[in-house]
Structure 1
Amino acid sequence: MNKENDILKWFEGEMSSVDLKKKYPNEDFSTLEKLGFYSKQLKAPKVDAEKALADFKAKQVKKNKPKVIPLNFKSFLKIAAIFVVMLTSSYFLFFNNDKSFGTQIAETKTFNLPDNSQVILNAQSKLSFNKKEWKVNRNLELDGEAFFKVTKGEAFTVHTDAGNIQVLGTQFNVKERDNYFEVQCYEGSVKVTSSQGNVVLKPGKSFRLVNGAVVVTKDFNAESPSWLTKESSFSNVPLWQVIEELEVQYDIVISVDDVDTSKLFSGSFTHSNKNVALQAVTIPLKLSYKIEGKNVKFYNYE
């Protein structure tokens, strides 16, 4: 029983792995270490492992009475494995109600939410929500860019690090990248809440926040975001943001050599041809570029 007590202490953090191995140098604790690692990843309710083990043994003794079967080390390992599996199952069945979707570089993904609202995720983006609360609380977390076609119903809110967007039923696009936040309304109306306050957008209106300080509201004339047709379009956008979008669409890393990345760019680039895309960005800004594998360098004309 001393060994079992020591293992329980180790599970509860009262004994270190080093001390446990020193005390029992001939035992292989690799399985226990794996069980301990995965059990710590779970956000399940705290369970008294010692009490659970005692209850299990009591049931075994009662079931097989009057025969008493001692619990050896291998039996304990089996019980520990069952215990972790039960924790994992209960977590995913009862506690993990989060649903998430993600895209990789140069990938887009279309899917429907529980209320049949449609979402199209742009490249390297992630969207998540709580499916259990969805009927009464249509809240989503977005990291990246997405286009929404929202069915009418309860308030629909998209949360980002830069600001929140709330609607009742509409079509809008949200782009939230590092130090860049933009919302475009295509149908209905949306309310944008950010560090700069609140603004309500009507169809054809957009809101832009750059580096948390520069706010731009402008008109646009389009029925949907250009990236839905494999093209990225920009209107007076800093070059550094255009560079980030090129990296997202083409899996490249762009560096600059004595180039002012704060200069503004208006134009577009295709998602289907890397060289054509690079030319579409560099030529209007009187820049050149050099490609070395996945690395691209922008520099001024010599």
Structure 2
Amino acid sequence: MKNPTYFFSSFRGTLLTHCLTTTMNKNWTDNYHQQANGNTHPDKDYETFQELTAYDCPVNIEKAWKKVDAKLKPASVWPKVFRIAAMLVLAIGLAWVTYENVYNSANELEIVASKDGEILTLPDQSTITLAANAKVSYPETFDETRAIFLTGEAFFAVTKSDKPFIVTTKQGKIEVLGTQFNVKSGKTLDVMVSSGKVSVSSGESQTELIAGERALANGNEVRKFYTYNPNALAWRTGHFKFSNEHLKQALPQLERYYKVKFTSSKSILNCKVTAKFENASFDEVLTTLQSILQVKAKKKGDLIKLSGRGCN
């Protein structure tokens, strides 16, 4: 009989080889019996066989090979290349956006008018007259469009050009080619055209205005008016025309231009005034009002107090 250790090792190698190729079967067992017939201790050898086969299990060769094959195959480099390319595109995009924001911010002008207002000349020689505390921003140079952003009130005198002139506010947008118009941006957008033609849009609503027309926009819609307010531009021109107008409506317009504050009784505010002022001094305006309304005026600094019988 061969050395037991040698037989065991040989037997284990044979068993493992068969486990990797096929499940142990009856033919292999019969072959073992034939080999064991020449052994002086077949029963002991068979016991060894039984011990080994007690831990044996069928092997799924196809599944096992797939696992080995997957580990042996070299990993594709394309997924990694795609990831790197995507990261580069993202980095370049972020860099461009950052550059655009920094460049545009550095080349955009923002002006806030003082309480006395401000007159600006734009790169295309158009002019903006800003009312007190109005704010406007625009680029140092115009490209395809002449884009302006406005908060507050301003009067625009736009030079003619093939480039659209666009004024944007929180409530809407005005687009022109060459004209004169007034824009007041507050809770609503108030646009009045002096000459030329403009387009006013707000939300999905849009309308066109010509000289003497006016539009109000609230962020969702635009309403068009055909009545012209002769004093709409008085804050800029100093030209006032009151025709049988209640004093309570006339005084705020005078206050704004002359930067004063009137106080009076309700009865005086009910009085109506018909008068015309063109670049008149405030003293001239005050004298005219006292004469028309038969009231007395007491001036203390910027405060004007009117007293008298008033009107019913």
TM-score (norm. length: structure 1): 0.50
With CA pairs under 8 Å and 6+ residues apart, which has the higher RCO, 1 or 2? 1
Q: Which has the higher helix share?
A: 2
Taking structure 2 as the reference length, what is the TM-score of the superposition?
0.49
